[in-house]
Chain A
Amino acid sequence: MLEVKDLKVRIEDKDVLKGLNIKVNAGEVHAIMGPNGSGKSTFSKVLAGHPDYKVVSGKIDYEVNLNMINLLELEAYQRALEGVFIAYQYPTEIPGVSNLEFLKATFNAVCKHQGVQELSESEFESLVLAKAKLVDLNPTFLYRSLNEGFSGGEKKRNEILQMALLSPKLCILDETDSGLDIDSLRIVSEGVNALRNEDRAIVLITHYQRLLDYIEPDFVHVFKDGRIVKTGDKSLALELEKKGYDWL
């Protein structure tokens, strides 16, 4: 589904990704770990198409309708329409835009792109309420401004709610576990697990092994200095927990 080849990325004058290679197939869960500043979040921003991140060289092949296309050639909104979803570490607050209004706009954009008929307001509201249960998000948050005044846990739940609603093919969860208490971590993880299926790939960016207790990865990659320095199975995460990153 996704193949990143020798990706080099710069932000302002700093080289952040220095030749990244990774392949993710449908149905797989990949965990990306690594020290601060190793390029993990940059990778998610580049996939999303953030304008501040300049791709110097490399290629990102992504499967659309059984054909591989270069994801870098798509605008940010087109990538989302083609099923790329980033659950952000720090979801942006947007005062004045109601959460429900935003969810409807994004859901309709995807429906339109896929040639599916949009839902009526009441049908959509019923769908969102059902999905909100999945992440145990109080429905009152649907009627508030998007992410404004939400706690860290509520913001992360709202990200997973969007993921559930949009049914993306490739989900990148950027430090979704940061700032979550134990109960929230469990609820958010259960929400993610409910969305695992053979057509969907999930990439978890995390600092902590504890998330991987809830969402079991097929592969664990270690980022260091802008590239992957080691890949293994879930036991690698346990080893990192004990030894840190210095031995790599």
Chain B
Amino acid sequence: MSYNQFLKSKNLWPDASTEKWKYFDFKGFESSSEKVEYSHFKPEIKFIDFDKSTFDGEIKISTQEILVSKSLKERAEISILDNFKSSNKTSKLDFVMTDLSSRDFTVQIKIKAQKELKISLTYLNESHQKSLNPTVYLGAIDSDITVFEIDKSSDETLLSQHSKINLQNSKLNLISIYGSSLTSDSKIINSEINLENKSVYNHALFLIKNKFIRYQQSVVINSEKAEANLAAFNISDGDSFSELRTEVQHLKPKGISRQLYKTIVSDSSKNVFNGRVFIDALAQKTDSSQLCQGLILSPKAEINAKPELEIYADDVKASHGAAIGQLGKDQIFYLVSRGINPETAYQMLAHAFAGEVVSKVESLALRKKCEILIEQSSGAIFEKLAESFGS
């Protein structure tokens, strides 16, 4: 698939008529007459120097401006495409049903022959009841890149984000954090990844205490021996809704895909996981696994997990599983029988539950960053978890 074909390809955004919306929580959207203003502005890149950056380059996308560190100019080609098409007001229902990013702007990042390039990508929406709708296109050839992507939007804001990632003989470690200490009102993220020429895509996704989030990811394994490793951790409380939808398409032989999804729900929060793996008749010797594990902390919390395998090749390894329940009693006993008090043991295991996803982050510094963010925002839930199992 050429760059232009990929950029123009139809995304997988579902419409209301399809089964893909099953379990989706429209509460608060259908009845809302409230209009959402989305913040179209004339996109322009400002190149600046970021203070004390630990990255090779930083990009900040806000409702006001797009800031890019000067240092990144030398290693990547960055430009803006304006997609603006229609009015700047929409209903809340439209917000979740439509990919608003297609109506706004695209930040295009092209990288060629760069090794160990570390980029920070921040979304920053500080405008009350306004939505930020960027599309980010990342194209990489013969490169090895790490991208740390974080949403730092304020409360009562909306994010409709679309990512298109195209890798050619490249490796991308993408760490995405939505939520953390700040909570946007609603987030709809749609991510499409195309892997060519033995590319490797490692994704660690953290959805932390979002009020409403739907993260949809589609990975196409479009060359022999290309590899996608997807790990995600979600933690929810209150009456929030979170949904992760993944689709991995194996179109060529000997591709590898690994999926690990872990979720903790408390209070009356609701979580949905839909994971589909499609293996084309041409994709012989595919090696694919998918595992979803959930912890439910209160009687009103809910997890809906729906793993799906669709296989048309006859020589493949493919596994999937879903386990929803409580922390392992044997694990707790093992820790306790070594002198660790039960409360500490429960907390260690709760951290370990998230830690399995954190451990997928290759960079030690970024792993620490993820650990701190999870601890800061989820510590109270982990304590609740300890209490619930201790009782």
Contact = CB atoms under 8 A, between A and B. Distances in A.
A170 B345 CA distance: 23
A14 to B, nearest CB: 19
Contact of B344 (A75, A91, A105): A105
A48 interface: yes
A106 B338 contact: yes
B353 A106 contact: no
Interface stretch (A15-23, A92-100, A117-125): A92-100
A201 interface: no
Nearest to B333: A50
Contacts of B337: 48-50, 76-77, 79-80, 86
B39 interface: no
A17 B3 CA distance: 72
Contacts of A31: none
Interface stretch (B52-60, B61-69, B354-362): B354-362
Nearest to A95: B356
Nearest to A168: B339
Contact of A166 (B331, B334, B338, B342): B338
Residue picked from B340, B342, B354, most chain A C-beta under 10 Å = B340
17 contacts: A49-B337, A50-B333, A51-B333, A75-B342, A76-B333, A80-B339, A92-B331, A94-B349, A95-B356, A97-B335, A105-B340, A105-B348, A109-B339, A109-B344, A110-B339, A113-B339, A145-B356
A176 interface: no
Contacts, number: 81
A188 interface: no
Contacts of A77: 336-342, 345
A102 to B, nearest CB: 7
A2 B328 CA distance: 31
Contact of B331 (A81, A94, A101): A94
A135 B67 CA distance: 55
A105 B348 CA distance: 10
A37 B342 CA distance: 30
Interface of A: 48-51, 75-77, 79-81, 86, 88, 91-92, 94-97, 101-102, 105-106, 109-110, 113, 145, 162, 166
A92 B334 contact: yes
B351 interface: yes
A136 B285 CA distance: 39
A44 to B, nearest CB: 10
Contacts of A79: 337
A202 to B, nearest CB: 17
Interface residues of B, number: 25
A102 B335 contact: yes
By DSSP majority rule, is chain B's interface helix, strand, loop, or mixed? helix
B339 A106 contact: yes
B330 interface: yes
B1 interface: no
Given A97-B352, A106-B340, 10 more contacts: A51-B329, A51-B333, A77-B338, A77-B342, A80-B339, A81-B339, A92-B334, A94-B334, A97-B349, A162-B338
Contacts of B348: 97, 101-102, 105
Given A105-B344, A106-B340, A96 B353 contact: yes
Q: Which 8 A-B pairs have the closest CB atoms?
A: A96-B352, A96-B355, A80-B339, A92-B334, A106-B338, A109-B339, A96-B356, A97-B352
Given A77-B342, A81-B339, A113-B339, A91 B334 contact: yes
Nearest to A91: B334
Report which residue of B348, B351, B354 has the largest number of chain A beta carbons within 10 angstroms of its beta carbon. B348
Contacts of B334: 88, 91-92, 94
A97 B354 CA distance: 10
B342 A92 contact: no
Most chain A Cβ neighbours within 10 Å, of B330, B333, B335, B337: B337
A76 B336 contact: yes
B10 to A, nearest CB: 39
B39 to A, nearest CB: 40
Contact of A80 (B330, B338, B349, B351): B338
Contact of B339 (A50, A92, A166): A166
A109 B331 contact: no
Contacts of A86: 337
Nearest to B353: A96
Contacts of B345: 77
Contacts of B351: 96-97
